[in-house]
Amino acid sequence: MKKRILLLAGGQSGEHEVSLMSARSVLNALPRDQFDVTPVVISKQGRWLPPTETQRALESGEAPTGGDLVLHRAASAEGYDAVFPLLHGPMGEDGTVQGLLTLAGIPFVGSGVLGSAVSMDKIMTKQVLASAGIPQVAWALAVRREWQAQPDTVRERAAALGYPLFVKPANLGSSVGISKVARAEDLDGALNLAFSLDRRVILEAMTAHKPREVEVGILGNDAPIASPVGELRFDADFYDYETKYTEGRASMHIPAPLPPEVAEQIRTLALRAFRALDCAGLARVDFFYVEETGELLLNEVNTMPGFTTTSMYPKLFEAAGLNYSALVTRLVELALEDR
């Protein structure tokens, strides 16, 4: 019998549009002889759209308004065998939707509440990975109240890391709200931007030189496998939103031209991080490789990485011999597996 799949896309985060792009690809790729797929788009206001509005949103690439209250829809999600929450960022990739689906008793693709929540928050990720002995840049935490009440303590913390540094909302993706701060004068503006998007902000020392950016895909539950390593190259100061999503601004190199022992180290560290964070199903683990010093630093773990047919994660597994359609099928199988 065909498996009934609910594909969730859109969502409330700054990555709403990115999620809809990913969802269109997955929708086209899930084999129809095996799966009966129902897409449901979640509007930017968090409401779950009925079928016709969902269709319209998928075609137009956005869903600013409309839809039902979430709980009403989740209750009717009971008729599905599995859910594919193809949502990026807060209220989707951060354990909230995963909690709802866990409560509803429906299997779903990807990490559970714990792995999703910890991996979404860059500060929690750093803390867990530090305790697992995984190399990372120096960093510091700041919370909104503190920035409002004692801005100088936050400024001192930044100065201790040295410039240039990166200021990031702790819970976001697609580089939304991220600034590279070259001088102390630009710090306040970067912090105000990051705090407009999140209560928690991470300050990160920049790598000693402009790093090479290398990424690896992980697939599996308790016996995960690592893909070949890929590299992103782009002509910009850092990999910002515009560079990520403007056609032709970045190029993907798979496999990344790296010394074999460096590639192997990346795969080993990525698998260790996946386990330390209690991830499941899939993750894309991103590293900085500082060629000048030979340093390898883990940047972040994305539990629901970009998923269009040209995105890095599917391309990495395609290079490993698993085409896009086989990959999404495998992800649904992993969701249905006993853990």
Q: Which of 302, 311, 318, 324 is catalytic?
A: 302
| Annotated catalytic residue 245 | yes
Residue number with CB closer to ligand ATP (81 or 295): 295
> What is the C-alpha to C-alpha distance for residues 103 and 97, in angstroms, rounded to an integer?
10
Residue 53 or 215: the one with the smaller Cβ distance to Mg ion is 215
Which partner, Mg ion, ligand ATP, none, binds residue 245 by CB below 5 to 8 Å per kind? none
Nearest to 17 by CA among 106, 89, 100: 89
221 catalytic residue (yes or no) = no
The active-site residue, picked from 146, 245, 249, 333, is 245
Q: Does 85 bind Mg ion (CB under 5 A)?
A: no
CB of 172 to ligand ATP, least distance (A): 6
Active site residue 59: no
> Cβ closer to ligand ATP: 204 or 318?
204
Under DSSP, the state recorded for 226 is E
- Clarify whether 217 is annotated catalytic: no
Q: Does 173 bind Mg ion (CB under 5 A)?
A: yes
Give the residue closest to Mg ion by C-beta. 173
Distance CA 313, CA 305 (A): 7
- Give me the least distance between CB of 67 and ligand ATP, in Å please: 26
* Residue 28: active-site member: no
14: exposed, middle or buried (Cβ count in 10 Å: 0-12, 13-18, 19+): buried
Task: Report how far residue 174's alpha carbon sits from residue 243's, in angstroms, rounded to the nearest whole number.
Answer: 10
Enumerate binding residues for ligand ATP (CB under 6 A).
Answer: 137, 166, 168, 172-175, 178, 204, 206-207, 211, 213, 238-239, 286, 288, 299-300, 302
* Residue 137 contact, options Mg ion, ligand ATP, none, Cβ 5-8 Å cut-off depending on partner type: ligand ATP
CB of residue 264 to ligand ATP, shortest distance in Å: 22
Q: Nearest CA to 154 among 210, 196, 200, 223?
A: 200
Which listed residue (121, 213, 300, 318) binds Mg ion by CB under 5 A? 300
How buried is residue 17: exposed, middle or buried, by Cβ count under 10 Å (0-12/13-18/19+)? Answer: middle
The answer to whether residue 239 is catalytic is: no
For this structure, is 241 an active site residue? no
Give the nearest distance from C-beta 173 to Mg ion in angstroms: 3
- Measured distance CA(322)–CA(326) in Å, rounded: 6
Q: In what order do the strands lie in the sheet with 200-205?
A: 139-143, 200-205, 165-169, 179-181
Beta carbon nearer to ligand ATP, 35 or 288? 288
Q: Where are the alpha helices (DSSP H) in the chain?
A: 16-29, 51-60, 70-76, 96-104, 113-120, 122-131, 144-149, 151-161, 187-197, 241-245, 260-276, 312-319, 324-336
Determine, following the binding rule CB under 5 A, whether residue 302 of this chain makes contact with Mg ion. yes
Q: Is 15 annotated in the active site?
A: yes
Specify the residue, 198 or 204, whose C-beta has the smaller distance to ligand ATP: 204
Query: DSSP string of 315-330?
Result: HHHHHTT--HHHHHHH
What residues make contact with Mg ion under the rule CB under 5 A?
173, 286, 300, 302
Catalytic residue positions?
15, 174, 245, 284, 286, 300, 302, 306
